[in-house]
Amino acid sequence: MEAFLYGVSLQWKLDIRSKTLLITCYIVPLLFFAIMGGIFTSVMSGARHTLIQSMTVFGVTMGALIGLPPSLVEIYRSDIKKVYKANGVPLYLGLVLTNISAYIHLFIMSIILYFAAPLAFNAKIPDNPGRYFITLAIFIAILLSIASIIGLAVKDQAKTSMVSIIIFLPSIMLSGIMFPIELLPKAFETVGKIFPASWGYKLMTDSTFRFENLLPLMAILALAIFMCIILLRKIDK
């Protein structure tokens, strides 16, 4: 219990001094919403019907893929790892605590978007708020699991940022949040289905729950968790 509390305390200190967390989980997503929300609703008359979902997918994808990996590199590729071991803190606790912290921040950002979009741009609130927030919770967990793989597998900050951006850009461009996915060439539409953002956007915009849209996300989550376990064992050697 003492080791757990020490790990929580250490993670809290890292969060407070993390500018990356502030920028990727709040400043950039909300700034993107403020600018693009106005453009989308002005150019496309139907954009307000899916504005909350599209802005949330962007914010969560960015916050997870670009915000989380540097925090994990800071823990597992620096002296913080030695501090964990010296104080008897299990190495997996760093992964768990950073994920919980990022999860909370991304959920708060999503709630801000949920209430701000109708006020700022007359965006339509999802028909079933309960189902919307359940699918959002699942989507955040899946994006963080993928971000965890990047943070555990890549050994330095520069390469981490490069890999994160390489995954982030097609995730957004091929997800359907920028423009209707039907406008994409079939090959791009197929590639887009590799990324969770595409499935998450479908889940959050569907008028009824469709298990076939959830299944790929659960498969990705299971695979990501398995990969994280393997990478943690490798780091612990």
Contact status, residue 28 vs residue 60, Cβ threshold 8 Å: no
Q: What is the DSSP string of 115-173?
A: HHHHHHH-PPPPS-HHHHHHHHHHHHHHHHHHHHHHHHH--SHHHHHHHHHHHHHHHHH
List, for residues 16-60, the tens digit of each pLDDT value: 666 777 788 899 999 999 999 988 888 887 888 999 999 999 999
* Average of per-residue pLDDT values in the chain: 87
Per DSSP, 210 falls in state -
Length of the chain: 237
Residue span of the structural domain in which 183 resides: 2-236
List, for residues 135-171, the tens digit of each pLDDT value: 999 999 999 999 999 999 998 888 898 999 999 999 9
Q: What is the DSSP string of 31-47?
A: HHHHHHHHHHHHH-TTG
Q: Look at residue 201 and give its three-state secondary structure.
A: helix
Task: Count how many domains the chain has.
Answer: 1
List, for residues 89-136, the tens digit of each pLDDT value: 777 888 888 898 889 899 999 999 999 999 999 999 998 999 999 999
- Please report, for the chain, how many H helices and E strands are present, in that order: 12, 0
